[in-house]
Chains A and B, each alone.
Chain A
Amino acid sequence: MSIAMPAPDAGVIARVPQIVAALRAVLPPDAVIDDPQETRAYECDALTAYRCPPLAVVLPRTTAEVAAVMRVCDGMGVPVVPRGAGTSLAGGALPTADCVILGTMRLREVLEVDTDNRYVRVQTGVTNLSVSAELEPYGFFYAPDPSSQLACTIAGNIAMNSGGAHCLKYGVTTNNLLGATVVLTTGEVVDLGGPEMGPMGLDLLGILCGSEGQLGVVTEATLRILPRPEGARPVLIGFDSAETAGECVARIIRSGVLPVAIEYMDEPCLRAVEAFAKAGYPDCPAVLIVEVEGSRAEIDDQIARIRAIAGALNPVEFRESRNADEALAIWKGRKSAFGAMGRLGDYICLDGTVPVGQLPYTLRRIGELSRQHGLEVANVFHAGDGNMHPLILFDANTPGDLARAEAFGADILRLCVEVGGCLTGEHGVGVEKRDLMGDQYGPDDLAIQMQVKDVFDPGWLLNPAKVFPLEASAAHRARAAE
């Protein structure tokens, strides 16, 4: 455990029975969980190396119930950790012993589908995939598609400003979020944005999205929806070096073709995928999957352009899908990459972003760091926007291995910052990258962000000890506790 959490508030721990009673007084009986057998299910999210059961879990069904929880917790000085589906890879929903977990999973209603004005309004506990499923009969879809979309909720997507494979063309959550109903720490409910295409006053929705539960709890969201494309088709391109693959990405983008996705897999990843999914990928150091959309003729036209660009770089293989089955076969390996890696052992999944032009250099340096740290790394990521997902393999049962893997990961993220990128492209800071924030931002850059939190959450009760390094936030937390 190399990431420290502050000691729980003894005053809160001493009043657990009163706090639970106060929550029970404002919620239905089944919406408050304090049995340690059951709260254990909420002790971690997908960053499983860090665990801590909360003092209680609440599962409200309405905005009014969320507001009631916030009033109780604010009044009694109890930290609140909002939680969607618990799929955060960054520990964004990691509890503290003195906190109440506020789960959004029972906020499950689709409130309104308005195709004339191209939006859908949902309670935020709905899953990402179910929003698009809901829209399918209307011929529309919701664009952000994180890999965890089967499980992850819109609440979590908004908190982390989630992306996905298709955001090269469609943008990330913030570009597809029109409005939000937000419960503040005071229990006040505010509506930000709506069906209109711009904010009234300052863009508060813009800072709320991606704020990792630091500013408020979003209970309802108005999401922009898009007409489904007529069709989509991937191509697979194999290269004999990472550099050439990186060059191909830059040339495609420069050419004016804007694919919906450009995915990259390196040799260690390809080997694991081949053993696991038998996707029939070529045996080479780097593979790109490029997907384009449109009518049949439009797709043919775009693929012809990509073929010409790739052809000039002497690919090992250029594989076109001629039908839906072949398209699935091309995606099969990529989609099973994380599962395949999981079979090789434990791994940490990183999320730094680098400028696309820096991809080849960054990949080379990651290889050097891998040898230095003596741990294997595989790369599978969204190349079109430079969002890398190096997977560091380690053995959780070997003492010290996790710490070594974390040190390796920190070196990779510092490398991302050094070449002009950032610590996290779509997973969020959470606790995982909290202590690296000083590598990306100066003290004043962090101070202004924490001062924004002061405005929304003067008591610093929301999602404590995340995002901001503890020493940087100490003065803010101390002032809040007064």
Chain B
Amino acid sequence: MSVALDLVPTTEAEVGEIIADCHARRTSLRIKGGGTRVENRGPGETLSLSRLSGVVTYSPGEMTLIARPGTPLPEIQQMLDAEGQALAFEPPDLRAVLGGNGTPTLGGVVAANASGPRRVLAGACRDHLLGVRFVDGRGRVLKNGGRVMKNVTGLDLSKLLAGSHGTLAVLTEVVLKTLPLLPARTTLAFPGINEATALRIFTAALSTPYEVSGAAHVGGTAYLRVEGLEGQLAYRRDRLLALLADWNPQVLEDAPWNAIRDAAHFAGSGPLWRILCKPTDAPGLCDRLRAMGGDCSLDWGGGLIWYRGVENPRALAPHATLVRRDGAAGPAFPPLTGAVARLQDGLRRTFDPAGILNPGLMDA
């Protein structure tokens, strides 16, 4: 048996040629960034973006980063860190959860619209995406948006491509907003409480102007993260401690925010679901999900439930994505119906008329 070699383009033009050729031959492509995220066992050949890599421009004074999709995320983070900036949406690293050993890439982060705990304050990856260059399913090399903070020139296809998991186009360059990272941070921890109490704490804290940048509940402990300039932090912390005194908060200087971001507590085996819901619905949903068998944690102030369990949760929570299949049956992404499904199919056919880019990835 021969081993199929990945297609590894080194330029945008080569990506265009490969896709135009595959379009003509009706050959499917599996698009691969760092190989760390959604499982893709679809048909066809593998198009790896590992060598379409590197930072094109980073301008801290303009808060913009332009880079190629295969650029390893740690490389980016190191560079931004040296300037006291960050990708404020806090991209997660799901290797522990998915059992992968690749390196997360910038293109993969954008394709998955992957956002960590700071989502609750700073928005999602797509909110920080200013522009893209990409190749559509015909092999056309295209661009949308730009490198400036405010831009309403034409339709915003960047948002559409963020989170499209390579099913519409292959990203060849992304422009992201970088933000100054507040230099000081601390965490308030509330051990030994259930989700219902955690939600009351989250609601109270997120209704303050203290810019809480993380609100999660893992293993019976609720965590609130506060950030600020050196002078701000103590004030914000003390105000929150006073506000939430009834629940006996503890101050943690070093809290496991990376582990929370990466859902590391659910590393290992068993089907793992990512559920989006209205935050105040989360405690009730967690009770019912646990009653079906399994375990839950909360992020995004309750707006994100991680659920490890064998049962499909969609009857309770339709907005559920299967992140780790591990034997679970059925579609990974929530099925759509009606006019929305028709629009989505129409967009797929527009971007990729032959259906060759990650076929079925967002459907099955």
Contact = CB atoms under 8 A, between A and B. Distances in A.
Interface residues of A, number: 95
Contacts of B235: 295, 297-298
B54 interface: no
Given A197-B300, A206-B156, A190 B151 contact: no
Interface in B337-355: 338-341, 343-344, 346-347, 350-351
B150 A256 contact: no
Nearest to B277: A196
Interface stretch (A14-22, A320-328, A382-390): A382-390
Contacts of A258: 179-180
A451 B140 CA distance: 14
B168 to A, nearest CB: 8
Looking at B151, B180, B303, B344, the one whose CB has the most chain A CB atoms below 10 A away is B151
B140 A448 contact: yes
B360 interface: no
Contacts of A451: 350
Contacts, number: 253
A194 B180 CA distance: 30
B214 interface: no
A476 to B, nearest CB: 12
B207 interface: yes
Interface string B113-150: 10000011001101100000000100011111011111
Interface residues of B, number: 79
Interface stretch (A78-86, A333-341, A368-376, A421-429): A421-429
Contact of B180 (A139, A200, A257, A437): A257
A279 interface: no
B218 interface: no
Interface string B162-205: 11100010000000000111110000000000000000000100
B160 interface: yes
A364 interface: no
Contacts of B149: 168, 353, 384-387
Q: Which of B62, B150, B168 has the most CB of A within 10 A?
A: B150
A356 B124 contact: no
B155 A211 contact: yes
B62 A206 contact: no
Given A301-B231, A386-B148, A451-B350, A204 B209 contact: no
- The majority secondary structure among interface residues of chain A is loop
Contact of B152 (A196, A257, A428, A452): A428
B114 to A, nearest CB: 11
A254 B83 contact: yes
A425 B151 contact: yes
A202 B124 contact: no
Contacts of B151: 353, 422, 424-425
Nearest to B150: A425
A411 interface: no
B61 interface: yes
A153 interface: no
The 5 closest A-B pairs by CB, nearest first: A206-B159, A250-B61, A425-B150, A385-B149, A455-B346
Nearest to B140: A444
Given A117-B278, A172-B150, A353-B148, A301 B229 contact: yes
B207 A429 contact: no
Contacts of B350: 448, 451-452, 454-455
Interface of B: 59-64, 83-84, 113, 119-120, 123-124, 126-127, 136, 140-144, 146-160, 162-164, 168, 179-183, 203, 206-209, 228-229, 231-232, 235, 276-280, 300, 303-304, 318-319, 333-334, 336, 338-341, 343-344, 346-347, 350-351, 362
Max chain B Cβ within 10 angstroms of own Cβ: one of A206, A294, A386: A206
Q: Name, among A186, A251, A256, A444, the residue most crowded by chain B CB atoms within 10 Å (CB to CB).
A: A256
A197 B150 contact: no
A28 interface: no
A456 interface: yes
Given A198-B276, A203-B163, A422-B148, A455 B347 contact: yes
Contact of B62 (A175, A294, A357): A357
Nearest to B179: A258
| Residue of A118, A197, A257, A424 with most partner-chain B CB within 10 A | A197
22 contacts: A172-B152, A174-B127, A201-B344, A204-B340, A206-B158, A206-B160, A207-B157, A227-B207, A256-B181, A257-B180, A293-B209, A298-B231, A353-B148, A353-B149, A355-B59, A386-B62, A421-B146, A425-B152, A427-B152, A429-B154, A448-B136, A451-B350
